Structure 1
Amino acid sequence: MATKLYNPFLDFHFDNKTCFLTGQALHSDKDHIQVFPEWMMDSFELADKPFKMLDESMTTYGQLQLPCTPEVAEKFHALEASIQEAARKGYEGMKAIPQLELFQWIGKMLYGVVFNEIQVGIRQSFLSGEQMNFSQALVQKFKNLHAMLQSILVPLEFEHKNPFTVEVFPVDNAENTFMYRDEINTLIYSLRMGDFGLIATLQDNGTHAIYHEEVLEKVKGHTLHPIQFEEICARYFYSAYLFNRLPEYTYMEVPEKVFVEPMPLNDWTMKPIFDNWQVKTYGQVLENFWKPWGYTLFEIIKNPDSPMSFIQDADGNFRSSIDLPKE
């Protein structure tokens, strides 16, 4: 039986003449899609804005593309139209989108960045004459992300639990807000726009939602000030760094679908799934996320036992009143 899933990491095939998702040969230079949705780039005038790559070189949002067949492009265009309509409705619209569709939408953007980063690495390797050095752990993460992204073409059934989680929050953003972050090494993504914010962990089998259960419960039912949402983002991005497992998945193909089963995260070492939380390091992350409001690391961790928070007050209750500008 021919395999249903394409794996470009077997021979590191990342050219512009091959569909990134299926491996099929392309017949036109126009066979591609944008990494970032066109409607999003139009809404926030992103196309010509600079985008920094990992090697410090600069490109633009509009130059980030993925080569693909017309069939794949059609699938993603349909998904984009659905997400665009949901985003127009705001928080309630985005909250109603199924998790798998949110994963496919976010996964295409994050994998699109990965694909373009790999292309840059391959070009640099060719020019320098040196072999490209690529972490096998990252290869495994990206391979799994790519396989799961093929769910837009091939029916995939995730057994027991989804490998990914997308949390959507109501946020009182300033008009025309667009704040996007990703971390391709840890496969985490955040976006703040309209009247919502979202945080996606794309390969953790839901463990971050459990790890941050207390804060998620505390903000439940509340519309967040942007500084509160950014605090949650800081917690997630830091815990993604502390996450010390490399998730593994088994793929079982049957004629009508592919079953994807996550392997247990607990291993023989009995180490906790997350490394120890360090207040100073968390404070440095939070300082970066709070840049629009100018809070320094010294202010944030002045009391190391109780770092600064806009989510909860001294008594541990949700802070519903915040006297700060939105940005």
Structure 2
Amino acid sequence: MSQPLFNPFTDLIFDDHFCFLTGDLTNDSISVFPEWLMNHFKFGDEHIEMLDKSKVYTYADLRLPCSARVKKAFETLDFEIQKAYKKGYVGMASLDQELLFQWTGRIVYGLLYYEMIYERDRLLAKGENFKLSVTLRQRFGYFHLMLQSLIEPISFVGKKPWSIVVFPLKYSKDIFSYRDDTVNLMFQFGVNGFGFIVCLQDNGVLAERHKELLDKIKGHVLHPIQFEELYAKFHYSDYILQYKPEYNIESNEQGIEIAINSEGKEPVFGFWDNDIYAQLLANYWQVYGIEKEDILQFQKPVYSFLENPYSKDFIDPESINFPF
């Protein structure tokens, strides 16, 4: 390609007049959360807090400036996701993972965009400059480049830069649940019929780490308490992952090719601290009245609804009595 693509993390450009994806001048915008999703579950007027809890928006308030072609591309993507959504688990599981990456990436990037704006404005009000570490600039810059695959001839060669797992899931009708971690680029989504976990830039490492458990889950319709536990395992694994994804990026006449740099250091996981993990899991299980002290008891294995702690057999979701 003749010119490098827009990277807002080079000069930290987050402005209402520049398209978030291309950098083009614009007066148009698109919602961070797809409008069909907000309308279906009626959460547009509900409140969402920024990371430090001091800034509150409604979901409908969150909008990304975008050019006409970016808006059209996301509207087309939303249509494809909505079609799959109506078919439940079968429809979502049959989607090309790149589409799920782009769709969830738009939400996670949108939330990250607002975190960047909030932090920039907070620091400017104090007379301080807004800065990001080199590591975060690089991580978010790679993520932004990959998200541009929606509108640019960008292809992923070989192993994909993400982990995406989709499961049948039993929730009460019209319940919608999601969690995100914008710094670590993770997303969890659950409704009646299916749920999925997306790690947007782990190079597939987390799915590989939990492959044995994921294989046990196949063929089962998860109870929500199991789905929350699975995300806790992914989330904590990401927390202790000592690994910096690196990529080989090449431009040619056809576009840009992104391949994982396999010559870098192999993924290494730090010490798994059951005390920290139990606290994280308790945060997810609090709706069931399960506390950290219930999960981690003296001289007992960590409480689990996914595997029998002694035999490691998968626990039948139908045997779980908690409501869904």
- Give the TM-score normalised by structure 2: 0.95
Equivalent of 2:39 in 14, 29, 42: 42
The residue number in structure 1 matching 2:29 is 32
2:8–2:14 CA contact under 8 A, matched in 1: yes
Residues 227-238 of structure 1 aligned to structure 2 (within 5 Å): 227-238=225-236
Residues 165 and 206, structure 1, Cα contact 8 Å, conserved in 2: yes
Q: Percent of counterpart pairs with the same letter? A: 37
Question: Is 1:325 equivalent to 2:315 in the alignment?
Answer: no
**1:83-134 CA distance string (max 9 Å, x none):** 0111111111100110100000001110111111111122112211111242
Shift of 1:266: 4.7
The corresponding residue for 2:71 is 73
SS in structure 1 of the partner of residue 195 of structure 2: strand
Deviations 1:241-266 (A, max 9, x none): 11111212232111221011222375
Q: Which residue does the alignment assign to 2:205? A: 207
Task: Supply the AA of the counterpart residue of 1:294.
Answer: G
Q: What's the counterpart of residue 260 of structure 2? A: 262
Match of 1:17 in 2: 17
Query: Is the 1:167–1:200 Cα contact (8 Å) retained in structure 2?
Result: yes
In 1: Cα distance, 2:233 partner to 2:52 partner? 26
- After TM superposition, the structure 1 = structure 2 runs for residues 1-327 of structure 1, keeping only pairs within 5 Å, are 2-26=2-26, 28=27, 31-56=28-53, 57-264=55-262, 266-267=264-265, 273-303=268-298, 306-313=301-308, 314-320=310-316, 321-327=318-324
Root-mean-square deviation (CA, aligned residues, Å) is: 1.5
Distance 1:304 1:65 in 2: 50
When the two structures are superposed, what TM-score results if normalisation uses the length of structure 1? 0.94
Q: d(CA) in 2 for partners of 1:295 and 1:227?
A: 11
| Amino acid corresponding to residue 282 of structure 1 in structure 2 | Y
How far, CA to CA, are the matches of 2:178 and 2:206 in structure 1? 19
CA contact (8 A) 1:225 1:322 kept: no
User: Gaps spanning 5+ residues in structure 2: where?
Assistant: none
Q: Which amino acid aligns with 1:315?
A: S
Unaligned runs of 5+ in 1: none
Which stretches of structure 1, 4 residues or longer, exceed 6 Å deviation after superposition? Answer: none
SS at match of 1:290: helix
